[in-house]
Amino acid sequence: MIKAVFPGSFDPPTLGHLDIIERASGLFDELVVLVAANGAKAGLFSPEERVGLLRDILGARPKVSVRSCDTLVADFARDEGCAVLVRGVRNPSDYSYEYELSLLYRHLNSALEFILIPADPRYLALSSTAIKELASYGADVSALVHPLVETALKRKLRPASRSH
Ligand code: ADP
């Protein structure tokens, strides 16, 4: 039985993330989508809100669960018996970042294997940062995020109230 973890900020989750979740859940017996606290990034959504969004979007699936952690992901993986860590890769700079991350993780938890999944071409230019920027100007992001995320962004950003 192989249990995998897909960690990320998911601030907010995009269709690119959901595609990786869909594809990874077909590869492993169990997949934990992990909202990992990232001290360097101030979030638009709280970790609890991100977990709530992911749980609502993914619904009840026997193989997929959504968790959060404020410890090292390498420690979470060891404690939860995850043998594989999944990440998505959009371009060479993602690859180089993820490769360096994998070296660091190998140092922290040598039992954990990194699996990098190439992004679907539809989502190559898609990032949570871009979504937040577009949504803050009231742009239509409906082709890039789940409707629940679109609604949550509208509530959070209230573009109608922006003024100079
Ligand atoms: P982090 O801050 O940990 O990079 P993100 O939420 O930005 O967290 O991304 C989580 C993972 O999802 C990363 O591996 C990232 O490369 C991947 N990812 C982000 N956007 C996409 C996308 N559009 N398609 C595929 N993978 C993606």
Give the pLDDT of residue 40: 61
Q: Which ranges in the chain belong to alpha helices (H)?
A: 15-25, 47-58, 73-80, 92-108, 128-136, 147-157
**With 60 as the cut, is the pLDDT of residue 161 above it?**
no
Domain count, the chain: 1
Choose among 18, 34, 24, 36: nearest CA to 63.
Answer: 24
Q: What is the extent of the structural domain holding 112?
A: 3-121
What spacing in Å lies between the alpha carbon of 163 and ligand 1's midpoint? 32
User: Which of 9, 17, 35, 126, when mutated, tests ligand 1's pocket best, judged by the most ligand atoms within 8 Å of its CB?
Assistant: 17
Whether the model pTM is above 0.85: yes
Which residues are part of the catalytic machinery? 17, 41, 90, 128
Tell me, what CATH number does 112's domain have?
Answer: 3.40.50.620
Per-residue pLDDT tens digits for 83-100: 999 999 999 999 999 999
**With 70 as the cut, is the pLDDT of residue 103 above it?**
yes
Within a domain: 141: no
Give the pLDDT of residue 41: 65
Share of the chain above pLDDT 90, in %: 90
